[in-house]
């Protein structure tokens, strides 16, 4: 029910998660009118994508961008004679978006029909293409980041008594984050299990020929990363940290590949 209500972004009901604390009006920043209009389009798109990701509702980014641009254009046309009025209406629209987003999250957390996502449901199957796996990885990363940001903002608001924290909402977002984390790890396994296994085998063969400290160190890093990615391993490492470490290691592999080619040529 919730996913259906979120799958289409209506021109009068774009959604968000939190009451936004907007910066000072862009009109005071010395920007051109075109730049200020782009600012509001980006703001609308960012918040809509946040909600779709957190509520696990399917969406097409291009459709969201086009819809948000249409919303902005309609408000700009309606206030063409007064740019100050346009800015006020856009800021009011964002505040309305915030309230509807909070209400939707609350409704979702109280909805008994919608199962709590405790397991990965969007993980890319083994038969997917690399492009599909990368897209699933990005979606899962977005869901996790949005959930973490939402909880941080809610706790900040509760600490300063701007609003009362809702245990039900936090429990729902925690479950979404857990599911997103599982999806991120599954995508990392799909993308990097084979390259890491190949690199480990090459490092072992290189060490068998000649011991070098940096090769031994890289081997230990590869082994720790492969262990963290195993489905049966509980890891507390941040998924973003794992991803960064894997990317850095595979970039360093270029040096090893050169050394490996030299070794193979000399044997």
CA distance 20 to 98: 6
Has residue 140 got a pLDDT over 80?
yes
**Per-residue pLDDT band at 92 (split at 50, 70, 90):** confident
pLDDT score for 197: 92
pLDDT score for 15: 39
Domain ranges, ordered by start, for the chain: 2-110, 130-266
Q: Is 26 exposed, middle or buried (0-12, 13-18, 19+ CB in 10 A)?
A: buried
Note the pLDDT tens digit of each residue in 221-261: 999 999 888 887 777 678 888 888 898 888 878 777 777 67
Has residue 76 got a pLDDT over 80?
yes
């Amino acid at each position: 029910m919730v996913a259906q209500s979120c799958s289409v972004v209506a021109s009068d009901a774009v959604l968000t998660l939190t009451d936004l604390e907007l910066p000072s009006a862009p009109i005071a920043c010395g920007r051109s009118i075109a730049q200020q209009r782009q600012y509001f389009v980006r703001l609308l798109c960012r918040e809509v994508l946040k909600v779709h990701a957190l509520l696990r509702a399917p969406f097409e980014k291009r459709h969201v961008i086009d819809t948000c641009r249409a919303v902005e254009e309609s408000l700009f046309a309606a206030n063409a004679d007064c740019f100050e009025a346009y800015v006020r209406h856009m800021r009011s629209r964002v505040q309305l978006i915030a309230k509807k987003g909070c209400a939707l999250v609350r409704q979702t957390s109280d909805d008994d029909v919608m199962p709590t996502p405790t397991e990965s449901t969007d993980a890319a199957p083994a038969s997917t293409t690399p492009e599909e796996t990368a897209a699933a990885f990005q979606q899962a990363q977005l869901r996790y980041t949005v959930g973490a940001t939402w909880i941080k903002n809610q706790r900040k608001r509760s600490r300063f008594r701007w609003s009362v924290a809702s245990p039900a909402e936090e429990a729902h977002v925690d479950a979404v984050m857990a599911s997103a984390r599982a999806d991120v790890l599954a995508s990392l396994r799909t993308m990097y299990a084979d390259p890491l296994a190949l690199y480990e085998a090459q490092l072992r063969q290189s060490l068998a020929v000649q011991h070098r400290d940096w090769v031994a160190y890289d081997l230990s890093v590869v082994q720790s990363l492969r262990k963290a990615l195993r489905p049966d391993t509980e890891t507390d490492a941040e998924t973003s940290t794992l991803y960064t470490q894997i990317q850095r290691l595979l970039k360093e592999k270029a040096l090893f590949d050169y050394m490996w080619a030299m070794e193979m040529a000399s044997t």
